[in-house]
Amino acid sequence: MIPTCRRTREHILDISHSSGHGHIPTCFSIVEILHSVYITIRHDPRNPQWEQRDIFILSKGHAALAHYVVLAQFGYFDIETVYSFGSFMADFGCHANRFKVPAIEASTGSLGHGIGLAVGMALAFKIKKLPREVYVLIGDGESNEGSVWEAIMVAANLKLSNLAVIYDNNMSHSRGLQIHNPAERFEAFGCRVSTVNGHDINALSKELTKNGSTVRVIVAETKKGHGCRTLVDNHYEWHRKSPSDAELQMLKRELDEETVQADNYGLSRR
């Protein structure tokens, strides 16, 4: 884990600790994915509504806290504002509201919705002949929803080459309805599929920048709670839990143990 991603996770822990909210393990599984997305896509934190920007949608909306922290690190807003997380009348809810937070392109929360919206947005750019791209991050647990596969079928049928679906394979699905061999499934649905280490920013960024003739699916192999041994080993217990004072210190120590100093992605200032 590079220092920038350690800082993301530390903020997530601190905000969860102070607010009493947060799905920490599912947030930790997508930290590198989010950084890869925002170093890859065309966007402008000084002008979130820039008309030529690419679109990113967090379809697994319960990881909103990770999204907020990364957006703050990329300069969309001050990280201090995110400490209002989940409080009454706050802008930063446990699931994001697109009218309240810059760079949130769709309000998500109920699973299996963001991907359908993303398909519609990608189709709109095709119809309007705009060179904009759409990226959507879905969860493996979320992919229990039939609407995910409907949307994938439609995207493949329309050959939406401007759509990239990132599948966070953090083994959430293992609690209930299991999805074995996701890459084969997406391939069978007509997508161009690649599988990468979802905690390797270099590998993720490389995949995100590839072009193709149809919808791309990037199966990101991740771990729930990545960065803290305790969370990885006990992610069921930590699914919705916020750390106590002592647990916060312990988890931060574990983050330190997992952190390397090398940062080759131009993220060190964040």
Partner 1 sequence: MRRQFKQTIMDLAAADQRIVLVFGDVSVYLFREFKDKYPDRFYNMGICENTLISVAAGLSSQGLIPFVHTITPFITERSFEQIKLDMCYNQFGGNIVSCGASFDYAWDGATHHCYTDLAVLRLLPDIEVTQPGSKRELDALVRDQYDNGKATYFRLSDHPHDVDIPVAEFGRGVVLMDAGSDVTVMTAGPILGNVAEACKELDVNLVYFHTIKPIDRKLISSFRKTRIFVIHDAFGLFEAVCEVPNITASYYGLGDTFYDCYGTLVQIRKKVGLDVESIREFVSRQMKKS
Residue for token pair 């997380």? 85
- Closest to partner 1 by CB, 135 vs 238, is 135
In whole angstroms, the minimum distance from the beta carbon of 203 to partner 1 comes to 29
In whole angstroms, the minimum distance from the beta carbon of 254 to partner 1 comes to 37
Contact 91, 42 (CB under 8 A): no
Pairing of strands 216-221, 134-139: unpaired
- Closest to partner 1 by CB, 33 vs 160, is 160
Instruction: For residue 22, give every residue at least 6 positions away whose Cβ sits within 8 Å of its Cβ, in sequence order, or none.
Output: 12, 15, 16, 65, 85, 86, 94, 240, 242
What token pair was written down for 142? 């979320």
In whole angstroms, the minimum distance from the beta carbon of 55 to partner 1 comes to 9
- Closest to partner 1 by CB, 88 vs 99, is 99
Query: What CA–CA distance (Å, rounded) separates 137 from 218?
Result: 9
Phi-psi region of 54 (alpha: psi -120 to 50; beta: other; left: phi over 0): beta
- Closest to partner 1 by CB, 127 vs 262, is 127
By CB under 8 A, name the binding residues for partner 1. 98-99, 105-107, 109-110, 112-113, 115-125, 127-128, 146-147, 150-151, 153-154, 157-158
Comparing C-alpha atoms, which of 180, 244, 196 is closest to residue 24?
244
- Closest to partner 1 by CB, 59 vs 169, is 59
In whole angstroms, the minimum distance from the beta carbon of 232 to partner 1 comes to 32
In whole angstroms, the minimum distance from the beta carbon of 105 to partner 1 comes to 8
